[in-house]
């Protein structure tokens, strides 16, 4: 027969601030039928075939005053054998007891350093189970209840605070509330509380937390206001930039078209200029390309002068008599009176008179 030693109750303070006195656990009723269950499972309507996975042997207090015992797994039960293998591999290493609470005490002789709640000094052991989720190195997960009342489970492996007031109805309710508040703050990075924090410590911590929240809210409002101001400034600057850019585009377009107008290269008439200006505002390069290729035009006087200069050129080498023979004297007189008079005087030696 293979037996596996295990600690059933270590006497140590659990994570919730109370402890179970191993020497106060009454074994008489349990030893008459020392069954070993798995996770406190018993036959019920849904699972009527649930059976014990083994039994306990040699339950006693050791030299450290811990309640210990030895487990025997049922060698004819396939599930029990699986549990035994997991136990031997260290995959399971804890047990849990179910006990009926008989007496609790806050007498100083039963209170250890760091203990905040009373000690369960007397209890009746009802059953022991393999526990799949160990709560601490001593593997004590408790199922405690008063006689005739449903069991209250305290699992030292989960994060749910136990119903301390129900387990210890004699303790001061305010103390319970403070304990639960302390548990609620546990793990919060903005609040630091010692395990034995007093009511004043917790109140101060809450006050500090509220102050931090208020400061954060004020900072949030301030940052929001600053952000809105900066957003408005960016919007204003963007509008000004767009106005400046638009003005520059308009000025550039007007300068291009004005240079091609009647006072410039005379490539456009005054009537054409407004249309070209609007086109240049949207497509400056295209309009510039058109104007670069466009030839300018002169005034009527310029045109007549150019024509006159052209006519004068063809008579410059002829004598007045040759011009008369060609019948062009009247044309020269009309187009270039000065040249006509010059040719006349050279031919006849006297000034021309009308």
Measured on CA atoms in the order 273, 279, 284, 285, is the torsion positive or negative? Answer: negative
Nearest alpha carbon to residue 175 among 20, 16, 21: 16
pLDDT in tens, 170-205: 554 445 455 555 555 555 656 666 655 666 777 777
Structure-model confidence comparison of residues 186 and 251, the more confident one: 251
For residues 196-223, average pLDDT: 80
Q: Please give the pLDDT value at position 212.
A: 82
Nearest alpha carbon to residue 19 among 121, 156, 98, 165: 121
pLDDT in tens, 123-176: 899 999 998 764 444 544 444 555 555 555 444 444 444 455 556 655 544 454
Angle 22-24-28 (CA atoms, 0-180°, nearest 5)? 100
Question: In which residue are the tokens 């767009």 written?
Answer: 242
CB 338 within 8 A of CB 315: no
For residues 341-352, average pLDDT: 87
Nearest alpha carbon to residue 92 among 38, 26, 28, 144: 38
* DSSP per residue, 68-128: EEEEEE-TT-HHHHHHHHHHHHTS---EEEEEEEEEEE--GGGPPTT--S-EEEEEEEEEE
pLDDT in tens, 295-323: 877 554 555 555 555 555 677 788 888 88
For residues 86-108, average pLDDT: 88
Nearest alpha carbon to residue 199 among 282, 116, 278: 116
Local structure of 353: helix, strand or coil: coil
Nearest alpha carbon to residue 55 among 68, 66, 41, 69: 69
Report the C-alpha gap between 90 and 155 in whole angstroms: 20
Does the pLDDT value for residue 254 go beyond 80? yes
Report the C-alpha gap between 143 and 22 in whole angstroms: 15
What count of residues does the chain have? 354
Local structure of 202: helix, strand or coil: helix
Q: Mean pLDDT for the chain? A: 80
């Amino acid at each position: 027969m293979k037996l596996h030693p295990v600690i059933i109750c270590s006497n140590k303070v659990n994570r919730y601030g109370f402890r179970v006195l191993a020497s106060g656990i009454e074994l008489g009723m349990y030893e008459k039928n020392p069954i070993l269950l798995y996770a406190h499972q018993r036959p019920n309507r849904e699972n009527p075939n649930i059976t014990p996975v083994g039994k306990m042997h040699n339950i006693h207090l050791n030299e450290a005053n811990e309640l210990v015992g030895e487990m025997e797994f049922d060698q004819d039960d396939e599930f029990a054998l699986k549990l035994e293998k997991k136990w031997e591999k260290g995959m399971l290493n804890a047990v849990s007891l179910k006990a009926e609470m008989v007496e609790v005490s806050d007498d100083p002789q039963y209170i250890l350093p760091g203990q905040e709640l009373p000690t369960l000094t007397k209890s009746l052991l009802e059953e022991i189970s393999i526990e799949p989720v160990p709560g601490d190195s001593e593997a004590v997960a408790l199922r405690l209840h008063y006689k005739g009342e449903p069991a209250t489970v305290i699992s030292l492996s989960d994060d749910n605070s136990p119903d301390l007031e129900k387990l210890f109805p004699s303790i001061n309710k305010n103390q319970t509330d403070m304990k639960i508040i302390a548990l609620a703050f546990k793990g919060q990075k903005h609040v630091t509380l010692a395990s034995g924090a007093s009511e004043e410590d917790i109140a101060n911590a809450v006050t500090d937390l509220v102050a931090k929240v208020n400061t954060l809210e004020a900072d949030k409002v301030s940052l929001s206001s600053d952000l809105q101001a900066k957003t408005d400034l960016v919007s204003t600057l963007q509008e000004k930039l767009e106005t400046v850019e638009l003005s520059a585009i308009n000025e550039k377009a007007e300068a291009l078209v004005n240079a091609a107008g009647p006072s410039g290269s005379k490539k456009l008439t005054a009537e054409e200029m407004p249309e070209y200006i609007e086109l240049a505002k949207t497509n400056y390069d295209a309009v510039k390309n058109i104007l670069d290729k466009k030839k300018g035009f002169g005034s009527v006087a310029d045109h007549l002068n150019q024509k006159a200069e052209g006519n004068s050129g063809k008579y410059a080498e002829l004598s007045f008599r040759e011009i008369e023979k060609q019948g062009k004297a009247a044309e020269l007189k009309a187009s270039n009176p000065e040249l006509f008079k010059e040719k006349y005087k050279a031919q006849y030696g006297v000034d021309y008179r009308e």
